Amino acid sequence: MNTIDFRNLIPLIFTSIFGVFGVYHLLSYFVLRHKILLYYSILIFGLTLHWSLSIFLKGAYSDQILLIAEKATLTTAMISTFGLLMFTKSYLNITKNNHPKLSAVYSAFSIIMICLPGVHILNNLFTKVDWLNTSFVMLAAVTALSTALLSLFSGLRLYHAEKFNKYYLYSYSPYLLGSIFYIGAWFLQKYYEIDSNLIILITSTLVTLQLILFSILVSYKYKSIEDNTIKIQIEANNKLVTEVAKQTKHLQLAKEDLENQNRELEKVNKLKNKLFSLLTHDVRGPLNNVSTIIEMIESQLDESDLKNITIKLKNEVIERISMVNVLLDWSYKQLEGVTLNKKNCDLDTLFKSIKNEFQRMADDKAIEIELDISCHELFIDENMLKVMLRNLVSNAIKFSKKGQKVLLTSECISDNVEIRVKDFGLGMHTNWHDDSKNKNNHSAMVREGTSGEKGTGFGLMITKDFVEMNDGEIICKSEINKGTEFILRFKKSKAGE
């Protein structure tokens, strides 16, 4: 019996109970990560520390330990009061947005509770002014009581704000009564002899009851939060499903519209192909016939003014035929669905055909077309190659002066076949490729020939596109007034590769 002081039994029992509550809710916070559990843990641990100090105050300890325990009561009281303040604020959902004035009051109280223990400790360590220390203790008591009343006021003020707010008042009653009783008894004890064991027993019982009620309340509050979260997630999922269904319907309608447009485009393309065929047959052919007829008439005329007119008319027709050929080739290239028809092409035959086609145009300017064929075969789309060479040879003649010559050559270099068209005429700027990128504004590429020949500006653009469609590259070398050389470079390949 001598080893146990029964005066400490009541504080020891309740301190243990509070400690168990505190550990349980702190572990719950680490698992669930909800701030309301953290604030509740601070409240309980503050009470645990505060109650444990009474063991030292009533025990047979040295004066120094008793002094430290007495000074520490203010700090432990502020810890538990701060926990109550933040717990109430979190539970009642008091924020700057929904309750700005009330939130400001809570912030002011929290600042006082954080600063008060600090200045109290500094005063005890350094200045040691007794009346200042007493003032701090009185301020702490007033702050604790004011916090209890503020929590009561908040519960009443926000009674209908949320579902579980009304239960806060019911569970808060024991703590409020215990706080008023404890603080009131603390004031009276300064002037009267009061049995402190009875005070501790009553307040401990009330606070324990309050902790049990708060624990139950927190459980229901947390369950309500989880239910609301699930409800929000379900509503969000339902909205998402509705939105997905709506977008799916829109996409289906868009798909149907696109299919209808594709069918219309297919009809337009068929019409365009038919129109191109008609142009090729009904425009190019008759123009060539007109040129032939004019030549026949010219051959029957003697030297006269009429023959000079006929010569000019023939030249005009030849220029128009050249222009139509270029435009028709360009239209062909723009047709959707155009596919390559590659085969082994005999360059000897093709070069001679090109020379014969432009011989009359070259003779008019006394220009000689020279062929040098050292590579005799190329795997390529023959029709496209003809278009390329027509454009390049036509330009070479157009921009050459009378008496000059045009070279058309082929050469096998390593794994490549190079076809060259070279003239010694006006020359050109080698940045024509940059101009051709802007196909809506190709006027910069249109120039007159040495005899005033007109062009469309499409020739080089067509040639470049056809070269690239056949996996080749086009190179331009030119000097102003010294001539131009175009190099078409293709990989060697054979049918079936």
pLDDT tens sequence for the chain (497 residues): 344 454 567 777 878 888 888 888 888 889 878 888 888 889 888 888 887 887 766 555 666 777 777 788 889 989 989 988 998 898 888 999 989 999 999 999 999 999 999 999 898 888 888 888 889 988 988 898 888 888 888 888 888 877 777 777 667 677 667 767 766 666 666 666 666 666 767 777 877 787 787 777 777 776 777 777 788 888 888 888 888 888 888 888 888 888 888 888 887 776 666 666 555 555 666 666 676 777 777 677 666 667 677 767 776 677 667 667 666 666 665 555 556 788 899 999 999 988 988 888 888 889 999 999 999 999 998 888 988 898 899 889 989 999 999 999 999 988 899 999 999 988 887 776 665 555 444 444 567 777 777 665 667 887 888 898 899 999 999 888 889 999 999 998 765 45
Q: Is residue 110 a part of any domain in this protein?
A: yes
Cα radius of gyration rounded to whole Å, the chain: 51
> Using CA atoms, how far apart are residues 437 and 405, in angstroms rounded to an integer?
30
Q: Is residue 62 a part of any domain in this protein?
A: yes
Q: Is residue 213 a part of any domain in this protein?
A: yes
The count of other CB atoms within 10 Å of the CB of residue 188 is: 12
| Same domain, yes or no: 217 and 365 | no
The whole-angstrom distance between residue 324's C-alpha and the CA centroid of its chain comes to: 50
| Same domain, yes or no: 32 and 176 | yes
User: Are the CB atoms for 79 and 48 separated by under 8 Å?
Assistant: no
Residue 401 DSSP class: P
> Using CA atoms, how far apart are residues 153 and 158, in angstroms rounded to an integer?
9
* Closest C-alpha among 332, 320, 312, 331 to residue 287: 320
- The angle at the Cα of 460, spanning 394 to 432, to the nearest 5 degrees, equals 120
Phi, psi for residue 365 in degrees, rounded to 5:
-110, 15
Q: Which helix (H) or strand (E) holds 486?
A: strand 483-491
Say what the pLDDT of residue 465 is: 84
What the block records as the tokens of 262 is 């594709």
Which residues on neighbouring strands pair with residue 485, listed in sequence order?
A: 422, 477
| Same domain, yes or no: 353 and 477 | yes
Point out the domain boundary residue: 240, 258, 275. 240
Say what the pLDDT of residue 429 is: 78
Which residues on neighbouring strands pair with residue 479, listed in sequence order?
A: 483
Say what the pLDDT of residue 79 is: 92
Helices and strands (DSSP H and E) totals, the chain? 13, 7
* Closest C-alpha among 168, 164, 170, 141 to residue 154: 168
Q: Where are the alpha helices (DSSP H) in 379-431?
A: 382-398
Q: Is residue 474 a part of any domain in this protein?
A: yes
Residue 373 DSSP class: E
Q: Is residue 10 a part of any domain in this protein?
A: yes
| Same domain, yes or no: 232 and 353 | no
Dihedral angle, C-alpha 409, 412, 414, 420, nearest 10 °: 20
Q: For residue 453, what are the CA distances in angstroms to 309, 324, 447? A: 17, 14, 8
User: Are the CB atoms for 76 and 49 separated by under 8 Å?
Assistant: yes
Residues 6+ apart with CB under 8 A from 86: 39, 42, 110
- The angle at the Cα of 432, spanning 342 to 358, to the nearest 5 degrees, equals 55
State the angle between helix axes of 63-91 and 196-279 in degrees (0 to 180), rounded to the nearest 10.
Answer: 40
What the block records as the tokens of 10 is 């009541």
Q: Is residue 251 a part of any domain in this protein?
A: no
Structure-token match 């519960």, residue found: 155
Point out the domain boundary residue: 240, 257, 290. 240
The count of other CB atoms within 10 Å of the CB of residue 430 is: 13
User: Are the CB atoms for 212 and 17 separated by under 8 Å?
Assistant: no
Phi, psi for residue 472 in degrees, rounded to 5:
-115, -175
Structural domain for 232, as ranges: 6-240
| Same domain, yes or no: 230 and 348 | no
> Using CA atoms, how far apart are residues 41 and 33, in angstroms rounded to an integer?
12
> Using CA atoms, how far apart are residues 450 and 455, in angstroms rounded to an integer?
12
> Using CA atoms, how far apart are residues 241 and 259, in angstroms rounded to an integer?
26
Say what the pLDDT of residue 276 is: 61
Q: Which helix (H) or strand (E) holds 318?
A: helix 305-334
Q: Which helix (H) or strand (E) holds 381?
A: strand 377-381
pTM flag (> 0.85):
no
- The angle at the Cα of 116, spanning 114 to 121, to the nearest 5 degrees, equals 110
> Using CA atoms, how far apart are residues 427 and 478, in angstroms rounded to an integer?
6
Q: Is residue 472 a part of any domain in this protein?
A: yes
Domain count, the chain: 2
> Using CA atoms, how far apart are residues 267 and 407, in angstroms rounded to an integer?
45
Q: Which helix (H) or strand (E) holds 411?
A: strand 405-413
Sign of the alpha-carbon dihedral angle for 176, 177, 178, 183: positive
Domain containing residue 442: CATH number: 3.30.565.10
Domain containing residue 35: CATH number: 1.20.1070
Q: Pairing mode, if any, of strands 473-479 and 368-373?
A: unpaired
Point out the domain boundary residue: 240, 256, 284. 240
User: Are the CB atoms for 472 and 398 separated by under 8 Å?
Assistant: no
Q: Is residue 175 a part of any domain in this protein?
A: yes
Sign of the alpha-carbon dihedral angle for 439, 443, 445, 450: positive
Q: For residue 463, what are the CA distances in angstroms to 96, 134, 341, 406, 466? A: 72, 101, 17, 18, 5
Residues 6+ apart with CB under 8 A from 473: 467, 488, 489
